[in-house]
């Protein structure tokens, strides 16, 4: 009872990276709280699924295996969580801020009247004093996220309602195996006890999933452009530099919104989070949502004609100049000096 739960998202029978990242974080939170870590896997053909999940330090895995549970649809998965949570009374539930997690989380939180915070960038345990009510709460989940277009960072708490629910984007937390032979309990639940036939109302009639076109998330060098790149053609310059450096190209939301670059290359709170050893920010001012997606980069270079651009404050190297002038020089001198 009152444990930390992680909903494991599945594509076929593969657990999503974001879920493994959350299991890693969930394990740490459970240790801090002195409770157990439990996981939920719902899909079909899940024999042996525990091999992917237990090594992250899962004490109890709840498996729901039935033909109609994959592909994901909202109501059957929501019923599983709602009914399981009524029995198990978790104190915390984490899920990916993916299309699935953001479809499922609110439905579950509404049914249980529990609070849910979307797209958290940090999760911590702490206390809270409600001076008005004269009450002190211990061991609350601090759900920390940029808000209001990234102009503020808010710490959200749910003092009274359980579970405390949060979604987190892929790449925000680190994925780390605790022990390849970690021993936990696997419980195979009878799905019909949790999901009624009337929950299967949505039929998936066609589905295309493609492997990502690029490996932005895992790239060791990222060349990212912002609104300051000026145009789609401006981004061609970035692709040229990226090709030389064996880097991937990323973009700020402003550049994506302006149509300079595809949405799947967006870096930041509402895009991909990257941890490259080198991050070259070109014409990016550095809104907090963007910073949230790249601040753990090893070395940050900012190329900006505005010397007061906020990103310069976290950059290791600031190049005061225009991207049109500096990037061709970088390409030129890289070609000259490498080899």
Partner 1 sequence: MSLKIIVLAKQVPDTRNVGKDAMKEDGTINRAALPAIFNPEDLNALEQALRLKDTHEGTTVTLLTMGPGRAAEIIREGLYRGADGGYLLTDRAFAGADTLATSYALATAIRKIGDYDIIIGGRQAIDGDTAQVGPQVAEKLGLPQITYAEEILNVDEANRRITVKRHIDGGVETVEGPLPIVITVNGSAAPCRPRNAKLVMKYKRALGKQEMAATTPAYADLYEKRPYLNIQEWGVADVEGDLKQCGLSGSPTKVKTIQNIVFQTKESKTLSGSDKDVEDLIVELLANHTIG
Rounded CA-CA distance 260/229 in Å is: 8
Nearest residue (CB) to partner 1, 192 versus 338: 338
CB of 180 to partner 1, least distance (A): 28
Rounded CA-CA distance 318/327 in Å is: 13
Nearest residue (CB) to partner 1, 89 versus 188: 89
Instruction: Report how far apart, in Å, the C-alpha atoms of 111 and of each of 85, 94, 123, 150, 199 are.
Output: 11, 16, 23, 29, 14
Is-cis flag, bond preceding 231, omega within 30? Answer: no
CB of 267 to partner 1, least distance (A): 16
The phi-psi region of residue 277 (left if phi > 0; otherwise alpha if psi is between -120 and 50; otherwise beta) is alpha
Residue 122 has a CB neighbour count (10 Å cut-off) of: 15
Three-state secondary structure call for residue 248: strand
DSSP state of 189: -
The phi-psi region of residue 140 (left if phi > 0; otherwise alpha if psi is between -120 and 50; otherwise beta) is beta
CB of 75 to partner 1, least distance (A): 6
CB of 235 to partner 1, least distance (A): 19
Q: What is the largest CA-CA distance in the chain?
A: 68
Nearest residue (CB) to partner 1, 33 versus 78: 78
CB of 338 to partner 1, least distance (A): 6
CB of 271 to partner 1, least distance (A): 12
Nearest residue (CB) to partner 1, 52 versus 167: 167
Residue 83 · residue 96 · CB < 8 Å: no
Nearest residue (CB) to partner 1, 154 versus 177: 154
Nearest residue (CB) to partner 1, 54 versus 249: 249
Rounded CA-CA distance 251/261 in Å is: 7
Rounded CA-CA distance 146/254 in Å is: 17
Rounded CA-CA distance 92/115 in Å is: 10
CB of 264 to partner 1, least distance (A): 9
Nearest residue (CB) to partner 1, 17 versus 50: 17
DSSP per-residue letters across 36-49: -EEEEEEESS-TTT
CB of 190 to partner 1, least distance (A): 24
Nearest residue (CB) to partner 1, 11 versus 185: 11
């Amino acid at each position: 009872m009152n444990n930390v739960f992680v909903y494991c998202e599945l594509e076929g029978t593969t657990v999503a990276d974001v879920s493994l990242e959350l299991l890693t974080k969930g394990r740490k939170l459970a240790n801090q709280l002195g409770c157990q870590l439990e996981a939920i896997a719902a899909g079909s053909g899940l024999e042996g699924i525990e091999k992917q999940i237990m090594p992250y330090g899962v004490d109890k895995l709840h498996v729901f295996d039935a033909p109609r549970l994959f592909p994901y649809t909202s109501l059957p998965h929501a019923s599983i969580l709602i009914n399981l949570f009524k029995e198990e009374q978790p104190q915390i539930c984490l899920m990916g801020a993916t299309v699935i997690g953001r479809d499922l989380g609110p439905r579950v939180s509404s049914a249980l009247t529990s609070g849910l915070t979307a797209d958290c960038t940090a999760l911590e345990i702490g206390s809270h004093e409600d001076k008005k009510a004269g009450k002190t709460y211990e061991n609350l989940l601090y759900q920390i996220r940029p808000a209001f277009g990234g102009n503020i960072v808010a710490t959200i708490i749910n003092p009274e309602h359980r579970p405390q629910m949060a979604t987190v984007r892929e790449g925000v937390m680190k994925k780390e195996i605790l022990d390849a032979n970690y021993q936990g309990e696997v419980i195979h639940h009878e799905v019909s006890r949790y999901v009624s036939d009337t929950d299967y109302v949505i039929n998936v009639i066609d589905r295309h999933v493609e492997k990502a076109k690029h490996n932005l998330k895992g790239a060791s060098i990222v060349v990212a452009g912002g609104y300051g790149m000026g145009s789609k053609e401006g981004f061609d310059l970035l692709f040229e530099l990226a090709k030389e450096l064996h880097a991937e190209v990323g973009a700020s939301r402003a550049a994506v919104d302006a149509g300079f670059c595809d949405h799947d290359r967006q870096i930041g709170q509402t895009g991909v989070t990257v941890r490259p050893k080198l991050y070259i920010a070109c014409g990016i001012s550095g809104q907090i949502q963007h910073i949230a997606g790249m601040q753990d980069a090893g070395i940050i270079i900012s190329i900006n004609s505005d010397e007061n651009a906020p990103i310069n404050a976290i950059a290791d190297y600031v190049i005061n100049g225009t991207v049109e002038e500096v990037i061709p020089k970088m390409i030129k001198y890289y070609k000259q000096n490498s080899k």
